[in-house]
Amino acid sequence: TLHPEMTRLPEAVARFEREAIAASRIEHKNVAAATDFGRLEDDTFYLILEYVEGESLREKLYREKSLEPGLSLHITRQIAEALQAAHVHGIVHRDLKPENVMLVARPGVPILVKVLDFGIAKVPLEGSPEGITAIGSVLGTPSYMSPEQCSGRIIDERSDLYSLGIILYECVNGRKPFESDDALALLSLHMAAAPAPMNSDVPPMVADIIVKLLEKDPQD
């Protein structure tokens, strides 16, 4: 439920509704499903989501630092499939990061990925072709934001692919391609700097995929 104090903040309500709309439109095994959304008699907003039992990709990276290429590709491929299911509906996640990727371990079965948190997603709404968030707003987590997202330009599905490239880079290298304690400096790095060189043991095929995903120009 949305905290009563938050119901007086239009952006908080809009974010809550945005996640409900996005989750209800996407039916895919790699996306946490929404089963109901509404408003109670006391004006409390509620959202019922699938319970995902496991650990986040962030927790796994904290513990293991880096993952072997095969597992990294297994995880990022499932994230890509979740994104594809969202992009079919014109939904751009905009905050893809390891914290929003859950890993479900099942005995004798490969890890199942669940993508969470469409709270700042760009969702096409009737009468608002650009979704809820105004053009020029900068939303997201700086370490995983695309160049066009950093500059406040209009974004589309390709922005999520850049974030996916950051995640794959981090999985196989044990660090992010751009790092700074200053958020503004980090945004500048995404827009203009080349990624830090990858570890020598990253397979060339994987490195090629990462380089393509991290192109500065969405056209590329």
Q: What is the DSSP letter of 220?
A: -
Among the listed residues 63, 76, 56, the one whose alpha carbon sits nearest the alpha carbon of residue 206? 76
26 close to 91: Cβ distance less than 8 angstroms: yes
Three-class SS state of 31:
strand
Do residues 121 and 25 lie in contact, with contact meaning Cβ atoms separated by under 8 Å?
Answer: no
Catalytic residue positions? 95
β-bridge partners, 111: none
> Which residues make Cβ contacts (< 8 Å) with residue 139, sequence separation at least 6?
94, 95, 120, 133, 149
Name residue 139's amino acid.
L
Which residue shows structure tokens 């009468």? 127
Q: Which two tokens stand for residue 123?
A: 């969702």
Given the DSSP bridges, would you call strands 55-56 and 101-106 parallel, antiparallel or unpaired?
antiparallel
User: 99-122 burial string, b = 16+ CB within 10 Å, else e?
Assistant: ebbbbeeeeeeebbbbbbbbbbbb
Q: What is the DSSP letter of 128?
A: B
